[in-house]
């Protein structure tokens, strides 16, 4: 027998006990989380088949526990040669954070961001500012291919104009304690330091003084030696 409210709304309540109410609430929460994660997926622009479940942990043993727990307390610099799955790893972690922590996530690719910045110098469509704002505000930023475009003027102390824009993004993120997952192809830390500057790396990893725990360098297995030397 349906109540009038049930008949009019078309929703059958029919809840009989606390356990059932609880399990329905759980289900609603889970649906909300999934909905949120689906919306966030768009912001990192990955193909439909890229799911956290597809993530092959054997490629990145150091990230295993992260993927399991969705920990988003530390910043990561993911280092490795091309095509080893750096972006995939960063996006999988971000997607995990979007699902578990209901975090907002965003992805910037240096090679795509640079032309947008270049264009904005001559004609500001508003799109560039929108992208910068999103990159600053997202709980988790995936930044791909750090150092692909020149960030310093050949010494590690002076930034290029594009480098200034990037520095500003990571500086604000550091102030707001927002998490960064950054990928780079620079095989040796020394080379990366020369290309983007130590100050820049410190902003990305948000390391303060001796405290290195907030920022970690994760290297693809065959590149491990370089990272350990750092
Ligand atoms: N863990 C994984 N499971 C399944 N497929 C993966 C995994 N990691 C990467 N791939 C696939 O391998 C290819 C390379 O991955 P990805 O683009 O993440 O590499 P990358 O290290 O970021 O490369 P690049 O330096 O060119 O940016 C892609 O087609 C990606 O979908
Ligand atoms: Mg990549």
Ligand 1: does its nearest atom lie under 6 Å from the Cβ of 107?
no
Sheet containing strand 179-184, edge to edge, reads 105-109, 140-144, 179-184, 75-79, 215-219
For every residue of 8-38, DSSP letters joined together read: HH-------SHHHHHHHHHHHHHHHHHHHHH
Determine the Cα–Cα distance for residues 37 and 1; give it in Å rounded to an integer: 38
The closest alpha carbon to 184, from 219, 226, 141, belongs to 219
Instruction: Classify 117 as helix, strand or coil.
Output: helix
The per-residue pLDDT for 181 is 96
Q: Which ligand is nearest to the CA of 58?
A: 1
Q: Which fold has domain 17-229?
A: Rossmann fold (3.40.50)
Dist. CA 183 → ligand 2 center (Å): 7
Ligand 1 centre to CA of 45 (Å) is 14
Give me the pLDDT at residue 225, please. 46
Distance CA 120, CA 13 (A): 54
Per-residue pLDDT of the chain (230 residues; tens, 9 = 90+): 555 666 666 666 666 788 999 999 999 999 998 899 999 999 998 888 888 888 888 888 888 877 777 667 789 999 999 988 999 999 999 998 998 888 999 999 999 999 999 999 888 889 999 999 999 999 999 999 999 999 999 887 899 999 999 999 999 999 999 999 999 999 888 888 888 999 999 999 998 766 666 888 888 875 444 444 44
Give the start-to-end residue ranges of the domains of the chain.
Answer: 17-229
| CA distance linking residue 101 with residue 95, whole number of Å | 10
| Phi, psi (deg, nearest 5) at residue 8 | -70, -40
E-state strands within 145-196 = 179-184
pLDDT score recorded for residue 222: 59
Name residues with Cβ closer than 5 Å to ligand 2, which is an ion.
87
- pLDDT computed for residue 182 by the predictor: 96
The model carries a pTM of 0.85
Cα–Cα dist 177/138, whole Å: 11
pLDDT for res 188: 81
Quick one: pLDDT at residue 65? 77
What confidence score (pLDDT) does residue 185 get? 93
Q: Where are the beta strands (DSSP E) in 55-165?
A: 75-79, 105-109, 140-144
Cα 47 to ligand 2 centroid, rounded to whole Å: 13
The finding on whether 54 has its CB within 6 A of some atom of ligand 1 is yes
Paired residues of 76 in beta bridges: 181, 216
Both structure tokens of 73: 């307390």
Give the pLDDT of residue 230.
46
pLDDT of residue 178: 94
């Amino acid at each position: 027998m349906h109540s009038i409210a049930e008949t009019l709304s078309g929703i059958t309540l029919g809840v009989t006990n606390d356990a059932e109410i609880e399990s329905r609430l759980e289900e609603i929460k889970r649906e909300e989380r999934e909905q949120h994660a689906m919306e966030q997926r768009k912001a990192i622009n990955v193909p439909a088949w890229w799911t956290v479940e597809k993530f092959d942990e054997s490629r990145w043993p150091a990230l295993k526990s992260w993927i399991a727990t969705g920990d988003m307390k530390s910043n990561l610099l993911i280092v490795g040669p091309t095509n080893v799955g750096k972006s995939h790893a960063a996006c999988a972690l971000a997607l995990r954070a979007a699902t578990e922590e209901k975090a907002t996530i965003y992805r910037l690719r240096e090679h795509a961001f640079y032309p947008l910045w270049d264009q904005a110098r001559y004609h500001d469509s508003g799109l560039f500012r929108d992208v910068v704002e999103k990159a600053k505000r997202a709980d988790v930023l995936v930044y791909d291919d750090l150092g692909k475009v020149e960030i310093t003027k050949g010494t590690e102390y002076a930034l290029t104009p594009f480098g200034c824009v990037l520095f500003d993004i990571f500086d604000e993120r550091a102030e707001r304690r927002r998490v960064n997952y950054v990928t780079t192809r620079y095989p040796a830390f020394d080379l990366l330091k020369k290309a983007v500057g130590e100050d820049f790396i410190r902003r990305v990893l948000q390391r303060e003084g001796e405290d290195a725990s907030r920022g970690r360098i994760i290297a693809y297995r065959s590149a491990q030696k370089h990272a350990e030397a750092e």
